[in-house]
Chains A and B, each alone.
Chain A
Amino acid sequence: MTDQTPVLRLEGIVKTFPGVRALDGVSLNIMPGEVHALMGENGAGKSTLMKVLGGIYQPDEGQIIVGEAPSVMSSPLDAKAKGIVFIHQELSLADELSVAENIYLGELPRKRFGMVDWDTLYRRTDAILDKLKVGFNAKTIVGDLSIANQQMVEIARALTVEAKAVIFDEPTASLTDAEKVVLFEVISDLQAQGVGIVYISHRMEEIFKITDRISVLRDGSYRSTVNTADTNEESITQLMIGRSLDLSRNESHHELGDVALEVRGLSCGNLYTDVSFEVRRGEVLGFYGLVGAGRTEIAETLFGLRDPSAGTVLLDGVETTINSPADAISKGISLVPEDRKGQGLVLGMNCRDNMTLPQVDDLTAGPFVAEGSEVAIFDQYRDKLDIRTPGWKQIVGNLSGGNQQKIVIGKWLSMHPSVLIVDEPTRGIDVGSKAEIHNLIRDLAAQGYAVIVISSEMPEVLHVSDRIVAMYSGKVMRTFTSEEVTEESLIQAISGLSSDKAA
């Protein structure tokens, strides 16, 4: 393979957004006929890199070389014309049209007077569908197909051009096991034709089954490329999450109070199963695992956004059901959600109104909102969290990501919850503010709150937690105390390589 020319080369790609270096000199070589996995945690830069490759973003530095020719991808259409084809996770098909029309959309074969040449269209489409061995034909309406078959249509679309490289973005997210087999056959057919495949996925078992090499991104920079045969899940996980400079564990334990929240055998469909844990007042319980391990879904269940399929939740020792977020809040549970812009904030509202939103019913003077008390609350948490904004009137959408997140955290701190759940508290926040937020989380525990911290960052979990729950694929693998946890044992647990018994 080494003496061949790569079908696709990325050299020193740099892409910056205001305040963020999203890609910091990433280089990749995709050889003909190889399946090349691209891995990294959320925010590592995979999607930015693919957008650069697909012509949606232009790189600030570096170049893309297709075959021998340095290329500029000016648009997604341009990328396709140059033989770089994307199979997206989210489908982009017209439901009401037939399979053939979808596959050749925009380039339907024509007869005289611009009429569509249906015979040619169907013949060509069926030829492609035969290759894919699918159970539908060119005339089937796309809306009638299962999601998996719709994905096959998307793949068929890719096969209409002379593809040099095909990028699969989480292609198996919605496929059943049988459908995956078909997909993998398609991939190996493409491979045999000398097409280079980039395969983006979080699923380790697939990566190890079908890929030849694995490249890992972290924090926007290229980490390493390894031969799949020479590595294992543990070292890939290690590459993805990285060794941080500060892996110090939390050592200051506070006086523990009663159990504030206990969860017994909680399950929610396939999302997570048989999860049990407890949090005491004065304790920070960390949840650590890779994307898709089910951590956020547990938080959403405790906040009344999902109905559990089994198990019980006890608040202060009393069994309870949580029907809605309003219900959760009234029972003293607060959630700082993962998606700050979508779930955490009303971006068009000002800082003060966002911060006091959950308690606006209680902040009243007669029938009116007590704006003075609101400003007082805002000022208090602005100072406490060092929120940098010209004033409370500032529209939240105009603040930086870090300051936005502080508004969300302030919103829930000001509610004085008995159980505070924070999901990825410092995602997209600068290093200085991270430390402040970590200190705040410790302070809250010291004041007797029970705190649950969900994080994908190992330093963060180690830093703030009294105990750490390691999750893998919807199951609790092991619960560590901060004394016994080691980097290696934690990585093993979240890679699915150990369980409570094995430890």
Chain B
Amino acid sequence: MGGVTKAQIGSFLARQGILIAFALFMIGFALANGRFLDPDNIMGVIRSSAILGVMALGVTFVVISGNLDLSVGSMMSFSTIVVLDLHDKIGPTMAIPLMFSMTLCLGAFVGFLVGYLKLNSLIVTLGMLSAIHGLTLTYSGGKNMDIIDKEGTWFSVFGQGSALGIPVPILIFVLLAAFLGILLSKTPFGRKVYAVGGNGVASTFSGIRRPRVVFMCYILSAFCVATAGLIQASRSLGSQNTVGQGLELEVLAAVILGGASLLGGSGTIFKTVIGVLILGFIQNGLLLVGLQFYVQFVVTWVIIILAVWLDIAAKRGKLWSPIA
């Protein structure tokens, strides 16, 4: 007994559950494998999380505005394939801006459908997931894309280079996170993203042009996807058409793990970064304790379900309720 009721425990678990679960995972991994807390391993985790992390930054805006973006995975495949193909055709200096413009066009299209036509974002982006995959395959003819001269190009700097002893992907992730973090927390635009997601009707009554704000969130998401595609292409200098497949769910998991509500109106860039790291460390830990790579997919799913459940439970203050 001790004066603590079942309801209080439930409420505490609902609010802090994800951090508790994370802490338990970390302790378990550290005990199971001493290499887990090794600085090299930690740096490696952050580095391999950078691509996912960059995408999650953009999706954070979309989720706070009260929408979803499930198209980021296949959009990232598209960016990667396009920039690799153009690299050999027109050179990296031209290929990069052209790939960014094409990806932004896709983002603009999604933003138009969800923002201005007010179509359900789940349906629109789920459809785009499939449509962009088809577009990528059509573009590549279904073949893998490779840069011919892998040694002689400066293009590899984004994925493989390092500056001041820090790998470039991590630098890009950190700088972009800082920039978008300031955009979200310090500018009028960021304020409007929270307002639109928090109460769309009230934001309209306050003169906010809701469609424009939603549109801009998808543009930002597409920009982040293009950046992630650039890192991916530069790291491997060759790619399959399906390189981004499934990332949309991992990205969403990271954003939700960070504490952004799927209902919109809450979340921050900093929390998303934390969510990305949690996901990265758990996946790394699973490998280190000797589980097969494929187990990750199941565990990721479990984490998403847990995060969504706890998000809702935290709102109603109990783990379970017969209504809503």
Residues of chain A touching chain B, judged by Cβ–Cβ distance below 8 Å, are 303, 305, 324-326, 328-330, 335, 337, 342-349, 353, 357-358, 360-361, 363-364, 367-369, 411
Contact = CB atoms under 8 A, between A and B. Distances in A.
A348 B187 contact: no
A353 B199 CA distance: 13
Interface in B57-85: none
Interface stretch (B11-19, B128-136, B204-212, B281-289): B204-212
Nearest to A357: B206
B194 A369 contact: no
B265 interface: yes
A347 B195 CA distance: 9
B9 interface: no
Chain B, interface size category, equals: 20 to 34
Interface in B154-200: 182, 186-188, 191-192, 194-195, 198-199
A368 B186 contact: yes
Contact of B188 (A328, A343, A349, A360): A360
A367 B187 CA distance: 6
A326 B207 contact: yes
A344 B188 contact: no
B206 A347 contact: no
Contacts, number: 70
B188 A325 contact: no
B294 to A, nearest CB: 39
Nearest to B261: A348
Interface in B198-233: 198-199, 201-209
Contacts of A369: 186-188, 191
A343 B198 CA distance: 12
A361 B188 contact: yes
Most buried by A among B182, B194, B195: B195
B202 A360 contact: no
Contacts of B204: 305, 325
Contacts of A358: 206-208
Contacts of A360: 188, 191-192
A346 B194 contact: yes
Q: Which of A303, A326, A346, A369 has the most CB atoms of chain B within a 10 A radius of its CB?
A: A346
Interface of B: 182, 186-188, 191-192, 194-195, 198-199, 201-209, 265-266
A346 B187 contact: no
Nearest to B212: A326
Given A353-B191, A360-B188, A360-B191, A346 B207 contact: no
A345 B194 CA distance: 12
A357 B203 contact: yes
Contacts of B202: 342-346
Contacts of A305: 204-205
Given A345-B202, A346-B265, A368 B187 contact: yes
B188 A346 contact: no
Contact of A343 (B187, B205, B207, B209): B205
Q: Which of A326, A347, A357, A368 has the most CB of B within 10 A?
A: A357
Which of B188, B201, B206 neighbours the largest number of chain A CB atoms within 10 Å of its CB? B206
A453 B182 CA distance: 41
B10 to A, nearest CB: 22
B24 to A, nearest CB: 30
Contacts of B207: 324-326, 328-330, 358
Closest 7 CB pairs of A and B: A346-B198, A329-B207, A326-B207, A346-B199, A360-B188, A357-B206, A358-B206
A344 B188 CA distance: 19
A349 B198 CA distance: 8
A342 B201 contact: yes
Contact of A411 (B191, B206, B265): B206
Nearest to B195: A346
Given A337-B205, A343-B201, A358-B207, A348 B191 contact: no
Contacts of A337: 205
B195 A326 contact: no
A353 B186 CA distance: 12
A332 to B, nearest CB: 12
Contacts of A349: 194-195, 198, 265
A10 to B, nearest CB: 26
A328 B204 CA distance: 11
A348 B265 contact: yes
Nearest to A326: B207
A339 to B, nearest CB: 9
B197 to A, nearest CB: 9
A325 B206 contact: yes
A196 B160 CA distance: 81
A370 B199 CA distance: 23
17 contacts: A324-B207, A325-B207, A326-B207, A326-B209, A330-B207, A343-B201, A345-B202, A346-B194, A346-B199, A347-B198, A349-B265, A353-B191, A363-B188, A368-B182, A368-B186, A369-B186, A411-B206
B228 to A, nearest CB: 25
Contacts of B192: 360
B66 to A, nearest CB: 11
A411 B206 CA distance: 9
A353 B162 CA distance: 41
Contacts of A328: 207
A369 B265 CA distance: 18
A432 B202 CA distance: 27
B199 A335 contact: no
Which of A303, A343, A353: most chain B CB closer than 10 A? A343
Contacts of A353: 191, 194-195
Given A325-B204, A347-B199, A357-B208, 20 more contacts: A305-B204, A324-B209, A325-B205, A325-B206, A326-B208, A326-B209, A328-B207, A343-B201, A344-B202, A346-B195, A346-B203, A353-B195, A357-B195, A357-B203, A357-B206, A358-B207, A360-B188, A360-B192, A363-B188, A368-B182
Looking at A303, A329, A348, the one whose CB has the most chain B CB atoms below 10 A away is A348
Contacts of B187: 367-369
A152 to B, nearest CB: 28
Nearest to B192: A360
B203 to A, nearest CB: 7
B301 to A, nearest CB: 29
Given A325-B204, A368-B187, A345 B209 contact: no
Contacts of A303: 205
A358 B187 CA distance: 14
Nearest to A344: B202
